[in-house]
Amino acid sequence: MVKIRLRRQGATKRPFYRLVVADSQSPRDGRFIEEIGYYNPTENPAVLHVQEEAALRWLRRGAQPSETARALLAKAGVLKRLRSVEPGAALPEA
């Protein structure tokens, strides 16, 4: 199964996350298929960048976002766009 999840990077106590598409069997910071964005919670305000087309492509293919990734995709407006294009999309609102 393919998942959309966060990959932690950055120094100790200075986290920086990349939003990646990875096989569910891969380790958190291990192998991934494609990077589709990043999230930096240490900035004020927090920085979130998502490649919408890539995220939509993977969601249409059946990739399942983790809870945190789903919340970030909702914040970026990707899930709303997915529902507007495909009304029967089965992803619950974050």
Q: Tell me: the pLDDT tens digits for 7-21?
A: 999 999 999 999 999
93 within domain boundaries: no
Cα gap 78→11, rounded to integer Å: 29
The answer to whether position 94 is within a domain reads no
pLDDT, tens only, 37-78:
999 999 999 999 999 999 999 999 999 999 999 999 999 999
Residue 75 lies in a domain: yes
Residue 78 domain boundaries:
2-85
Among 79, 23, 20, 89, which Cα is nearest to 52's?
A: 79
Query: The whole model's pTM is what?
Result: 0.82
Residue 27 CA to residue 42 CA, distance in Å, equals: 24
Is position 90 within any domain? no
In a domain, 9, yes or no: yes
Query: CATH number, domain at 49?
Result: 3.30.1320.10
Domain count, the chain: 1
